[in-house]
Amino acid sequence: LAGREIKSANSVIECNGVQVGGEALALIAGPCSVESHDQLIATATSVKHAGANMLRGGAYKPRTSPYSFQGMEEEGLKLLKEAREATHLPIVTEVMNPSDVQLVARYADVLQVGARNVQNFSLLKELGKVDKPVLLKRGMMTTIKEFLMSAEYILSEGNKNVILCERGIRTFETATRNTLDISCVPVLKRETHLPIIIDPSHATGHWDLVEPMARAAVAAGADGLMIEVHPDPVNAFSDGPQSLKPSKFIRLVENIRPFAKLM
Ligand code: PEP
Ligand code: MN
């Protein structure tokens, strides 16, 4: 169902008023984790002013260590809802557990599947039954074929609203957190009608590499960007080193404006 041969026209995914896969670039920004009311509202307001059209923020966090901050869970979802009311930005947030899908779907506009869950088939099947779009992240060891098969799990259960997201794959290189597979954009454009966005934050792991890779993503034909922004990256509960300060995010948007069609 994801294949170009099944549907030749690009799919445009409607996300509570924002289209992903249409003419304009989707610009999803926000903190890695929802940490507090003030942190989230400050970030949401600043990314909105910079030109973002959706807000991201994790309430359920897939952390490598069980001793790291695990997320605010439903309290975080409530804060995301408040941030949507304050900014009118649709909300993108991760769901990790199949049993949380209905709960997260009550708050979120777009449900995110994290890289680590790209082959959590029971989660994918559950998301196939939801009437909200799914942002499916590529795993760090997932081939493009496997990635598309994961999308197929969602589509085949009836949910046709899938957005693909490349966030870097694991290679021998250690200078960056992951290696951004920019070539997956034209490959996926050939293979599928589903939109593909790029997350240069998780792909690089370093805030100063985010903007050049965002520009590369736009040049390669990506349908959107997902970027981590934090008002105080040094004190972020997660992913501070790759988070942009609001002023740096404003600059990124200004620097892609000449060659991207923004909403
Ligand atoms: C995230 O977007 O916050 C996240 C955990 O990303 P990934 O699943 O790509 O590591
Ligand atoms: Mn993160």
Within-domain flag for 8: no
167 Cβ inside 6 Å of ligand 1: yes
Q: What is the CB-side half-sphere exposure of residue 75 using CA atoms within 13 A?
A: 8
How far, in Å, from the CA of 5 to the mean position of ligand 1?
A: 30
pLDDT, tens only, 24-67? 999 999 999 999 999 999 999 999 999 999 999 999 999 999 99
Residue 158's pLDDT is what? Answer: 98
Output the residue whose Cα is nearest ligand 1's atom 9.
Answer: 115
How far, in Å, from the CA of 4 to the mean position of ligand 2?
A: 31
Residue 81: partners with Cβ closer than 8 Å, 6 or more residues away: 91, 107
- Which of 199, 204, 229, 242 maximizes ligand 1 atoms within 8 Å of its Cβ, making it the mutation to test the pocket? 199
How far, in Å, from the CA of 229 to the mean position of ligand 2?
A: 10
Residue 258's pLDDT is what? Answer: 93
Ligand with minimal distance to 114 CA: 1
Average pLDDT over residues 115-131: 98
Within-domain flag for 263: no
Within-domain flag for 6: no
Average pLDDT of the chain to the nearest whole number = 98
The proportion of the chain whose per-residue pLDDT surpasses 90, expressed as a percent, equals: 100
Give the environment of ion ligand 2: residues with CB less than 5 A. Answer: 32, 239
Sign of CA dihedral 58, 64, 69, 73: positive
Within-domain flag for 107: yes
How far, in Å, from the CA of 188 to the mean position of ligand 1?
A: 20
Q: CA-to-CA distance for 75 and 63, rounded, in angstroms?
A: 18
pLDDT, tens only, 132-190? 999 999 999 999 999 999 999 999 999 999 999 999 999 999 999 999 999 999 999 99
The model's pTM is 0.98
Within-domain flag for 185: yes
H/E run at residue 218? helix 207-220
58 Cβ inside 6 Å of ligand 1: yes
Average pLDDT over residues 121-130: 98
115 Cβ inside 6 Å of ligand 1: yes
Structural contact between residues 25 and 224, judged by C-beta atoms closer than 8 angstroms:
yes
The proportion of the chain whose per-residue pLDDT surpasses 70, expressed as a percent, equals: 100
Within-domain flag for 25: yes
Residue 255: partners with Cβ closer than 8 Å, 6 or more residues away: 211, 215
Residue 263's pLDDT is what? Answer: 85
Domain that holds residue 177: 13-258
Within-domain flag for 172: yes
Residue 145: partners with Cβ closer than 8 Å, 6 or more residues away: none
pLDDT, tens only, 9-23? 999 999 999 999 999
Q: What is the CATH number of the domain that holds 49?
A: 3.20.20.70
Residue 19, judged by CB atoms within 10 A of its CB (0-12, 13-18, 19+), counts as middle
Within-domain flag for 100: yes
Output the residue whose Cα is nearest ligand 1's atom 3.
Answer: 32
pLDDT, tens only, 191-243? 999 999 999 999 999 999 999 999 999 999 999 999 999 999 999 999 999 99
114 Cβ inside 6 Å of ligand 1: yes
- Which of 94, 120, 239 maximizes ligand 1 atoms within 8 Å of its Cβ, making it the mutation to test the pocket? 94
Locate the ligand 1 atom nearest the alpha carbon of residue 226 and give its number. Answer: 2
Residue 155's pLDDT is what? Answer: 98
Output the residue whose Cα is nearest ligand 1's atom 4.
Answer: 114
- Domains in the chain: how many in total? 1
